[in-house]
Amino acid sequence: MSVANATGSFVETTAPTQSLFERVQAQIARAARAIELAPDVHAILDKPMSRIAVNFPVRMDDGRVRTFTGYRVQHNNALGPFKGGIRYHPAVSMDEVSALAAWMTLKCALVDIPFGGGKGGVQVDPSTLSQSELQRMTRRFVYALGPNLGPTYDVPAPDVNTDARTMAWIADTYAATLPPHERHRAMSVVTGKPVSAGGSPSRAKATGQGVVELIALWARDKACPMEDMTYTVQGFGKVGSWAARILKDKGARLVAVQDHTGSIRDPRGIDADALGEHVQRHGGVAGFPAADAIDRDAFFETPADVFIPAALEDQITERVAARLNVRLVAEGANGPTTPQGDAALQHRGIDVLPDILCNAGGVVVSYFEWRQNTTNDVPDPKRDDAQLREILARAYERVAAASHGFGLDWRSAAYAAALQRLETVYLDRGIFP
């Protein structure tokens, strides 16, 4: 249900009936039925292997101590170390982190890299902390997690409101907990580090680059030339801004952008680099001088070929899906579409590149960074680009084949292909004892 507010915009009033993690479980169950997944394997994947909650004290700049709550959920490690980002946001909860961790398991299985799925976060609005408070909070969070992290056990990465600098603090803090002769192996405890601290030059752009690779495959199949393509982006952070900059290089035209500060539009095209600089300086897209400010509904109604959600969960509700005026939703964000939104997109014949496929570029290049660190190799951006393209193209074909073979929509097909990969490892290895 939706009602008009004072400004004439519509506001959703219906709370979702299922939690985010329950929705992931339902989605897994749907795909499991379609492929007749072994019930034992389904039961294992239905729940995270472990859920860790920590409350930890941090000294604030004014001398007072504030206690923060952080989470790390380790969903599954059948294919390799738990892998997944750390998010700083006031809405972080055990349920949200559990859903995000399960998606990581499915994503890594779908693209077939040797990682499992994990996710973490701290319930905080980082904009309210100074840089030194943020650093102390990050370091105390890592200290509180203790042996739950490790280069061959659980390897975090950036997510919403965390970045390369946060990852460098994590690696340095983890190193400090090791005996001196073991500290050299601390580097691979985290990916998405600054290049100077063992990071990969390919990592910062990787998720956005992957989104563009997937859009290009869709465009090839739909005979929609990239140089004629128009698109809109929600979220102009790490994922959204990189996707937009790379699409600019391909000749596609960015016509509208929305973030937490507002929405802007220019049908003649918004320059992604200039907007990126504006966001760096002002903290959001609001006030960008070379486009018109519009309201939230007008943003979603903007005609374009592609819409890239690259912000948070639950953005494409049934009501938003009914307003979208696009041919493709390319999910840069994790979980941007509610089940009702998904049904509405299908009903309207709007294609979807689902999150576990569309934003997998980040974890694939995280794997390259981890491999570079664990083998003492040097970065090789050209090799990374070629391998990323190859891995994502294979995953795209896998999803297309599952969609065709099982008669499934693309989201269910992506889950089905991922579950099949996980099933093989359990059936081959058996269950201890």
**Is the backbone of residue 335 left (phi > 0), alpha (psi -120 to 50) or beta?**
left
Q: Tell me the closest approach of the beta carbon of residue 396 to ligand NAD, in angstroms.
A: 16
Query: How near is the Cβ of 91 to ligand NAD at its closest, in Å?
Result: 9
Q: CA angle, corner 289, sides to 288 and 295, nearest 5? A: 60
C-alpha triplet 17, 21, 26: angle, nearest 5°: 75
**What does the alpha-carbon distance between residue 89 and residue 98 come to, in Å, rounded to a whole number?**
15
Residue number with CB closer to ligand NAD (224 or 287): 287
Choosing from 119, 193, 205, 238, the catalytic residue is: 119
Decide: 61 and 132 in contact? Cβ < 8 Å: yes
Element (H, E) at 392: helix 381-406
Of the CA atoms within 13 Å of residue 367, those in its CB half-sphere come to 26
Handedness of CA 240, 113, 354, 93 (dihedral sign): negative
- Burial state string for 316-338 with b = 16 or more CB within 10 A and e = fewer than 16: bbbbbbebbebbbbbbbbbbbbb
- HEC readout, 308-359: EECCCCCCECHHHHHHCCCCEEECCCCCCECHHHHHHHHHCCCEEECHHHHC
Q: Which of 410, 237, 411, 215 is nearest to 330 (CA)?
A: 215
Instruction: For ligand NAD, give the closer residue by CB, 89 or 140.
Output: 89
What minimum distance in Å lies between the beta carbon of 402 and ligand NAD?
Answer: 21
Q: Which residues contact 178 (CB under 8 A, 6 or more apart)?
A: 185, 186
CB of 22 to ligand NAD, least distance (A): 19
How do 82-89 and 154-158 pair as beta strands?
Answer: parallel
Nearer to ligand NAD, 35 or 410 (CB): 410
119 counts as catalytic: yes
Which position has the token pair 């979980």? 335
Helix (H, G, I), strand (E, B) or coil at 48: coil
Find the shortest distance in angstroms from Cβ 18 to ligand NAD.
19
Cβ-closest residue to ligand NAD? 237
Question: Which residue number, 218 or 236, has a Cβ lying nearer to ligand NAD?
Answer: 236
Q: Which helix (H) or strand (E) holds 2?
A: strand 2-4
* The residue type at 331: E
Name the residue nearer to ligand NAD (CB basis): 52 or 211.
Answer: 211
Q: Which is nearer to ligand NAD, 333 or 402 (CB)?
A: 333
Instruction: Give the shortest CB-158-to-ligand NAD separation in angstroms.
Output: 5
User: Minimum distance from CB of 119 to ligand NAD (Å)?
Assistant: 9
| Segment holding 158, helix H or strand E | strand 154-158
Q: Which is nearer to ligand NAD, 42 or 107 (CB)?
A: 107
Closer Cβ to ligand NAD, 334 or 403, answer by number: 334
- Least distance to ligand NAD from the beta carbon of 157, Å? 7
Cα–Cα distance list, 177 to 172, 183, 260, 267, 344 (Å): 9, 8, 37, 53, 50
| Contact residues: ligand NAD, CB under 6 A | 158-161, 207, 234-240, 258-260, 284, 310-312, 332-334, 359, 362
> At 290, phi and psi to the nearest 5?
-95, 30
Q: How far, rounded to the nearest angstrom, does the alpha carbon of residue 302 sit from its chain's CA centroid?
A: 24
CB distance 326 to 305 below 8 Å: yes
Which CB sits closer to ligand NAD, 21 or 236?
A: 236
Minimum distance from residue 428 beta carbon to ligand NAD (Å): 29
Residues catalogued as catalytic: 119
